[in-house]
A and B are shown apart, each in its own frame.
Chain A
Amino acid sequence: MLAFILRRLLQSIAVLLTVGLVAFALFRYVGDPINAMVGQDTSMEERETLREKLGLNDPAPIQFLVFIGNAARGKFGLSYRTSEPVGRMILERVPATLELSICAALFALLVGVPMGVYTGLYPRHWLSQLFQAVSLIGISLPTFLIGILLILIFAVWLRLLPSFGRGETVDLGWWTTNFLTWKGIQALILPSITLGLFQLTLLMRLVRSEMLEVMRTDYIKFARARGLTNRAINFGHALKNTLVPVITVAGLQLGAIIAFAIVTETVFAWPGVGQLFIQSVQFADIPVMAAYLLLIGLLFVLINLTVDLLYFAVDPRLRGQGMARPAGH
């Protein structure tokens, strides 16, 4: 188990280094930091002095280390588009993206898993067939189209829910939240459904196929023979044993949710990190792109690592093997 964790850690570091290299190459070679800082009428000599002063004439490996060091302290330079510090721009928008992603993930889990259990237990029931049909549509429709349709129905035609922005937010000093006002919560509903729908269908299909498999096993038959109630069998025995793959997929999908927040945030004009990234791609705002890349890279690596470790925590069989091996040495 220790060897496994170590190998995973090394792999994560390799991924982070690669992402860091790409971000550095972007920052240093694709965009010209000097052009972004000075006006058109700055002479070549002045540019050269500035270049020297900023360390842009140093050997590339040293520049890379300096870049990584700065990034670790949240210093990503100034945005080409707004001339604000990139670190602060991103930090201001993190709460919006995180709250949206968490709501979407909760929606997918709390609706997707029960739907999966139901379709797994009663695969021939008409409601299960309906769920299956809906999930096929959920997988085929692109996220942005789902968002637009929801806006059309609930915001334009029915006028029930707001279609853009965060509504009212409460400023807690270092965090702005949607959860404390009614308008803020209303504003969260449509974007969360849009963002979570794909993951919902994925979880539902996964739980369904796992349940179908588990319900055929001998220990379920045995539990029935013992006269346990359906409830105890379905949830205590069957669902519990489907949870290992579900946790893995749900964890890995959290990263996908944060990445796809880019699309949802654009549809709903949600002032999050994803929207900032799209604006920076449109304007070729290199420092913001580099910073976003590093941030998302770190996030993905952390999520993947946590899921790997969680695997050991959840499945006693794996843990047993892992424990036995070091003891034998």
Chain B
Amino acid sequence: MAVVVADWLKRAADSDIWWSFKSSPLTIAATAVTLLIVALAFLSPVLAPHTPFDPATLSLSDGLRPPALLSADGDWTYPLGTDEQGRDVLSSIMYGTRLSLVVGLASVVVAMLLGITLGLVSGYFGGTIDAVIMRIADVQLTFPAILVALLIDGIVRSVISVKRHDEIALFVIVGAIGLSFWVQYARTVRGSVMVEKNKEYVQAARVIGLSPPLIMVRHVLPNVTGPVLVIATINLGLAIITEATLSFLGVGLPPTEPSLGTLIRLGNEVLQSGDWWITVFPGVTLAALVLAVNLLGDWLRDALNPKLR
């Protein structure tokens, strides 16, 4: 066992990807920032100094405290200050980042599953079904993803009542973003599948008499995952931004379980009175997260596929 692990480590250390990672300080910094934010977010129940969404722990007298560095008494109970309801900004950001990450990752997974399935079907079978799927993709590509997501969200809102909407807002927003990002995966997978399906191993699988779904998933899919992973990393930043934008517009996650976007929206409402920290700190966190994830995505694209550079 130990030999296997050691061998695997040695091979990883010799690989091109590790070399390209080591020789790019920017990528290492981006990884560090990403890991730090992810760790703080997912450990928020343990690490966060306060539980911002438990009304019992809040007191209005602690409302609108400026960040500790700026406050006169040097009180470090609230390092980044509090909002108008006395919630600790740092803790809100940690919990909010967790939600933003969960929504971002989940919607990328939804888009990926949908796109891969449609792309596989489209490329493997061709013909009418291919034409239909690709024309739908064309029409959707005419519009920016955020518009599609807004529309899906609006339709769901009108089908179910607004009250129930808050309870399932998380699923609605994941679905809306997922549905608005599938096209890129479908097109990429379709292209690769059309190349792969004429190769000998697929013909061999067909001759043995395997069913098309089995061939697609077990034999073709593993050979087309590279580009899909690259798109997924690049889209993660985009999905996080889209979620934040929808939440900021007031059609995303409700104030009872705020993501970074919701926090920025709530802070924006009191921005005019000069209480900048409620907005700026979640904003900086969002920007740092997206920038780091984007840099990682760019690096992964270059490392996995030098042709794309």
Contact = CB atoms under 8 A, between A and B. Distances in A.
Chains A and B form a bound pair: yes
B153 A281 contact: yes
A87 to B, nearest CB: 19
Interface stretch (A43-51, A141-149, A321-329): A141-149
Given A143-B245, A296-B147, A284 B154 contact: yes
Interface string B58-94: 0000000000000000000000000000000000000
A286 interface: yes
Interface string A270-286: 00000001101110101
Contact of A152 (B147, B151, B276): B276
A144 B142 contact: no
B290 A148 contact: no
Contacts of A155: 272
B158 A282 contact: no
B264 to A, nearest CB: 7
A140 B249 contact: no
A77 to B, nearest CB: 15
Given A156-B271, A286-B158, A256 B144 contact: yes
B114 interface: no
Contact of A156 (B153, B158, B159, B272): B272
Contacts of B56: none
A151 B146 CA distance: 23
A89 interface: no
B280 A289 contact: no
Nearest to A11: B138
Nearest to B276: A152
Interface string B110-145: 000000000000000000000000010011001110
Interface stretch (A12-20, A102-110, A202-210, A229-237): A12-20
A277 B246 CA distance: 13
Contact of B251 (A19, A157, A282): A282
Judged by DSSP, the binding face of B is helix
Interface in A162-177: 163
On chain B, which size bracket covers the interface?
35 or more
B108 interface: no
Contacts of A145: 264, 283, 286-287
Nearest to B140: A18
Given A141-B287, A148-B283, A304-B142, A280 B154 contact: yes
Interface in B16-41: none
Interface string B285-303: 0110011001000000000
Interface in B252-285: 264, 268, 271-272, 274, 276, 279-280, 283
A284 B150 contact: no
A281 B142 contact: no
B45 interface: no
B219 interface: no
Given A18-B139, A140-B287, A148-B264, A281 B276 contact: no
B212 interface: no
B162 interface: yes
Interface in A130-148: 136-137, 139-145, 148
A301 B283 contact: no
Nearest to A281: B154
A281 B159 CA distance: 12
A301 B142 contact: yes
Contacts of B248: 142, 144, 263, 266
A144 B271 contact: no
Interface in A247-284: 255-256, 259-260, 262-263, 266-267, 277-278, 280-282, 284
A266 B252 CA distance: 14
B213 interface: no
Contacts of A141: 287, 290
A318 B144 CA distance: 28
A266 B147 contact: no
Given A289-B151, A300-B142, A262 B280 contact: no
B291 A140 contact: yes
Contacts of A148: 264, 268, 271, 279, 283
A142 B245 contact: yes
B27 to A, nearest CB: 14
6 contacts: A18-B139, A139-B294, A152-B279, A260-B144, A263-B248, A300-B143
Given A155-B272, A262-B150, A278-B250, 9 more contacts: A142-B245, A145-B286, A157-B274, A262-B147, A266-B249, A278-B150, A282-B250, A286-B158, A297-B142
Interface of B: 135, 138-139, 142-144, 146-147, 150-151, 153-155, 157-159, 162, 237, 241, 244-245, 248-251, 264, 268, 271-272, 274, 276, 279-280, 283, 286-287, 290-291, 294
Interface of A: 11, 14-15, 18-19, 26, 30-31, 136-137, 139-145, 148-149, 151-152, 155-157, 163, 255-256, 259-260, 262-263, 266-267, 277-278, 280-282, 284, 286, 289, 293, 296-297, 300-301, 304
